[in-house]
């Protein structure tokens, strides 16, 4: 259980979780490395990327000596995929929606599970099944007002919005009370064109903004 708490601490410390997809294994791998080199050290490597488990394993090996880097798996839809991710070395698991079966498996292995939720019912289910961080998704649809609305009946909930989070509105999300944000296309989008240098620059900007927010 101490491992789980350490992972949660590392994710929160990063402030930003880079949601990395990719049309190829190489694209997803290089995009992840660019984010880490730019200072965004929490990576959600999604299982929409080819050979996602291999990429996770490679990244875990590459950064095994960097205690600030935390590699997780995203777009995990079922227990089989969750187990594959965990075996590969993923330290946390993220889903676009809540799954009781995935929650149970992650709890079994003391791996933080961050399911996507859109309604109070889904948030309550996620909390009941041990989710320490709830992903509000898509953030662009539910809006920032959802954060304070949820914190009324669920003052204990830790929220990570994903979808619609940008460098420009990130502070607004934190002002509402979220503990970490997930950033996808706005952060890693240039990777689709092979511009990993720009991904690194974007990551540097996100990291600088986090430091500014926390001053």
Between strands 93-95 and 113-117, the pairing is parallel
Burial grade of 61 (CB within 10 A; 0-12, 13-18, 19 or more): exposed
13 carries an active-site annotation: no
The one catalytic residue among 30, 33, 91, 135: 135
135 carries an active-site annotation: yes
Residue 20 · residue 35 · CB < 8 Å: yes
Q: Cα 70 vs. chain centroid, distance in angstroms?
A: 10
The one catalytic residue among 4, 33, 41, 44: 44
Burial grade of 73 (CB within 10 A; 0-12, 13-18, 19 or more): buried
So which residues are the catalytic ones?
A: 44, 135
């Amino acid at each position: 259980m101490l491992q789980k708490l350490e992972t949660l601490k590392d994710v929160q410390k990063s402030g930003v979780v880079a949601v990395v997809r990719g049309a190829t294994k190489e694209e997803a791998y290089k995009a992840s490395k660019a984010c880490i080199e730019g200072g965004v050290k929490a990576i959600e490597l999604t299982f929409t990327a080819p050979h996602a488990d291999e990429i996770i394993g490679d990244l875990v090996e590459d950064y095994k000596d960097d205690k600030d880097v935390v590699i997780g798996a995203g777009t995990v839809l079922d227990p089989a995929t969750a187990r594959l991710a965990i075996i590969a070395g993923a330290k946390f698991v993220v889903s676009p929606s809540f799954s009781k079966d995935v929650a149970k498996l992650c709890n079994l292995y003391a791996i933080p599970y961050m399911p996507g939720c859109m309604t109070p019912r889904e948030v309550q289910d996620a909390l009941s099944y041990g989710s320490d961080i709830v992903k509000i998704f898509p953030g662009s649809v539910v809006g920032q007002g959802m954060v304070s609305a949820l914190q009324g009946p669920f003052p204990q909930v830790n929220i990570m919005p994903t979808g619609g989070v940008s460098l420009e509105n990130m502070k607004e999300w934190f002002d509402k009370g979220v503990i970490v944000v997930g950033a996808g296309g706005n952060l890693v989008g240039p990777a689709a064109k092979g511009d990993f240098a720009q991904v690194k620059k974007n990551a540097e900007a996100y990291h600088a903004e986090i430091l500014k927010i926390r001053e």
